[in-house]
Structure 1
């Protein structure tokens, strides 16, 4: 049916706050900016923010309000070249992390943080074969 997601569009309540976060804090270049819409061109995928009022009109469906307290609407995952450098850069810009740099058993080094509307982001880089072997030796199965 399909084998590639061509775009991710987040429906947001506070458009200006989210725009500032993605443009200024994360440093994504703006490809298109309209009153309640912003698109950021990424490597091979489009990423956009759309105010919920415009989203409801566009998809001709009622868009639910913000998620229940403690429930995150989704998680977005992105690959970076250096997780530790990304962590330090974003930490210096005031980003609060739910988890700092961590080597995971599935072969990635990750960090996790939330955007202004509680969407969770994972930034990850693959562990090298040497890092994976060292991780496995230090963390044997229970």
Structure 2
């Protein structure tokens, strides 16, 4: 089954200069509720899919993705698809690489407890495929009611 039919887009991630400033905007101005917070990263669960914020310097330091900043009024985003397992990340990486999709590097396990791989479309829009490692996501802020 083709990638887009098997794996729904689960997250939209905006690459930001200052995650604290961005969190304040999304919480104070737009009413999002903070769900998860980790160094250089935050996400919110709202209606629909997950909105995430990731500091450009942090993603670049850990993944090899470019740290070049776009000038003001240029759109910046990272679309993400959560896969069911780390093995699925590896399999989809092989599948898409075989089709000529340009990845930054092979899948890796990252400090935020996920196996991830990053690729770009022909216009350099960034995509992430990921799956949580054993223990799930780190940085949960919102705990389920008992």
**TM-score w.r.t. structure 1 length?**
0.45
TM-score where L is the length of structure 2: 0.44
Larger Rg: 1
Comparing both chains, which one has the higher relative contact order based on Cα–Cα distances under 8 Å and sequence gaps of 6 or more?
A: 2
